[in-house]
Structure 1
């Protein structure tokens, strides 16, 4: 969508300032609205999560994270989302395995079911984040409302603004949106200067990030100690950890179309999603409560206690969480893959620290996250930015750039964790 809007920018040199100024108000409105949608879905999911995993099992005399309750809630979540996909108009949108951050414009009738499915998923414990469906909801709303109230505006403008605004809201900063837009524009025909094309999306992203910061107070910072001046051993450790994380992530990527095909053979969402809930319940019982949910607060808990688990426990959580991400994304749950991948990378990095105490835990976390995100998202800028944003340490940026080079060589040109409509992997 972003690149489509860029092609409609004024040709030649800089766009007149008055043309850019006309975009400020629509971009700001989309930014604020997109942030409020994200906050609303997140808060609804969190409130339902607190009920499902707190007062309800206690009232029933069941342990909050007992094996029985984990199974019951995850299977019930599969049934609930299956009913939404089956019965609610629009069927909660297209197959989520075919969607990435660049969402198609969906009809308004599809969006309520997608919101319900996403909030239910967030509350029930499947290992997916809110990013993909929330972007899709905001793109659909922006295209519909923008076409009604400002029909003379470029049709591609509204989805571009909504995508940027949602990314800004999700990460709490417009920088992430600017990097994603720049990557989307690379190698594509573009009229005018780069910053003229970025002006309106960046405005939307800034307003989305500011609104989220005011009403929701998100933070990616894990509170890890800042890393000192890097040495040769740090560079070697960074390259090894990022590469191992990328290889592990690619294992899930290669398995993705096969697992998706297996669930597809069940032929109905009321079979595939409850079956997915059974598998996720088994994985949750194996990995423990930290391997449930989208993984952001659980990642922070890992980082706050880098010596709290053994290397084997960290490795187990990383593998279980990655498997949970794979099965949740394959069976039809609506959600994104970035936040669970951050948990997997964090667990891998802390596993490296536990195995080799000389490895700085901050270094282990950021390079593990970098390699995992490169494999799962194939978004270089998003991977670098997310990994760097986890710690308040400028010294890691150089290390991350170096570690990204061999990791990128391992993943580029290979299948992505996104499928075409015929079930084959996108390259």
Structure 2
């Protein structure tokens, strides 16, 4: 009886009182709005610059916008521009991006302008990286710096959590992604009080960031693939095969990461290694075509608009080239994140599976491919599931993805991550 009573007793973890949580609301909302505006500002500036570099300038020169010559010139020029920022601008655009992940370091304010400038050049110039890692770093650093001035007694980790949640909410246009990331981060920590108390302020920040982004830019990740209804046995089999294949493909890049990074680091000077990275990326763009450039969100929408528009060989080429471009860009010092390019890799892989086997539904192939690649590249289970599911607006896909994540996770857990220590060895 005593054991039964113990099992039925409620949790003894003390819950926070409302008066302890209410003072966090206003700072969380402010951080959310500012984080979203920083993201939108950098993204808008990069889009304007991209239009100049890839539309106005080649048109004025009479050169094909995505000719092999122009892609090579632009990628090398981007390497030179980012190299100059890393070399000459105070703070050198932050630490080596190969050593950072979504858990951003807190940098001095003087470093942030250079990091923002380098990020804008990368987003506009064509290297296969997204905005997430540097923007999270900038927002975390700003929140800690301004927060210390406004509320000196507040712990630094509180501002870090708010800024990370706000930026993730702004990136994906929903606070759900931020809540999943924070919950995963808290899983390995000792939580004081209830989980929802710990999520209260970050969720407010994520909600404010997501709403600001939604009101200004109206993001939409749904690829509008052919409608997917009730899953069948064939769909389950396809998901169970494609997700592990995606994970294995992603792990190829993960295992190659320290070696490729080490090869570029032998060049030492940023004005050598970044232009050299641009040369390699130009060669890859010539092989894979212009769709393998940039962070990849607009490009996956183009792929999904016509799943039958490319052959299996063309999809396979884009898959391998984009993954190689992500690996090179992350290794040679370009500032940017790896989630969005990895989504392109998974999308191309899934459409390749559909082109090879017509019975594979495009929605199943894409979501399972994205899931597997993201599990390998990010090692973030909840984010991988969320992103894979949000690309296909169908409740039926969730069951398949949850089951497909199991064999894919077994292939990646406990293995090296796509993040390096200062000595160049992989984080596990």
Return the TM-score normalized by structure 2: 0.97
Q: 1:136 aligns to what?
A: 137
Return the TM-score normalized by structure 1: 0.97
- Equivalent position SS for 1:58: helix
Distance 1:111 1:220 in 2: 29
Q: 2:350 aligns to what?
A: 349
Q: Which moved more, 1:214-223 or 1:150-159?
A: 150-159
Deviations 1:118-137 (A, max 9, x none): 00000000000000000000
- Equivalent position SS for 1:358: coil
Q: 1:245 aligns to what?
A: 246
- Equivalent position SS for 2:16: coil
Q: 1:335 aligns to what?
A: 336
Q: 1:186 aligns to what?
A: 187
- Equivalent position SS for 1:53: helix
Deviations 1:322-342 (A, max 9, x none): 000000000000000000000
Distance 2:129 2:156 in 1: 31
- Equivalent position SS for 1:176: helix
What are the within-5 Å matches in structure 2 for residues 48-67 of structure 1?
A: 48-67=49-68
When the two structures are aligned, how many residues end up with a matched partner? 417
Q: CA deviation at 1:153?
A: 1.7
- Equivalent position SS for 2:226: coil
Q: CA deviation at 1:188?
A: 1.2
What are the within-5 Å matches in structure 2 for residues 390-401 of structure 1?
A: 390-401=391-402
Q: 1:42 aligns to what?
A: 43
Distance 2:298 2:32 in 1: 25
- Equivalent position SS for 2:156: coil
Q: CA deviation at 1:12?
A: 4.3
- Equivalent position SS for 2:15: coil
Distance 2:215 2:246 in 1: 35
Distance 1:414 1:154 in 2: 33
Q: 2:171 aligns to what?
A: 170
- Equivalent position SS for 1:23: helix
Distance 2:213 2:252 in 1: 35
Distance 1:160 1:243 in 2: 32
Q: 1:7 aligns to what?
A: none
Q: CA deviation at 1:187?
A: 2.5
Distance 1:28 1:351 in 2: 43
Q: CA deviation at 1:216?
A: 1.3
Q: 1:257 aligns to what?
A: 258
What are the within-5 Å matches in structure 2 for residues 182-261 of structure 1?
A: 182-261=183-262
Q: 1:288 aligns to what?
A: 289
Unaligned segments of structure 1, at least 5 residues: 1-10
Q: CA deviation at 1:157?
A: 1.0
* C-alpha RMSD of matched pairs (Å): 0.8
4+ residue segments displaced more than 6 Å: none
Q: CA deviation at 1:84?
A: 0.1
What are the within-5 Å matches in structure 2 for residues 106-117 of structure 1?
A: 106-117=107-118
Distance 2:156 2:120 in 1: 29
Q: 2:33 aligns to what?
A: 32
Distance 1:165 1:398 in 2: 28
- Equivalent position SS for 1:228: coil
Is 1:369 paired with 2:370?
Answer: yes
Q: 2:4 aligns to what?
A: none
Unaligned segments of structure 2, at least 5 residues: 1-11
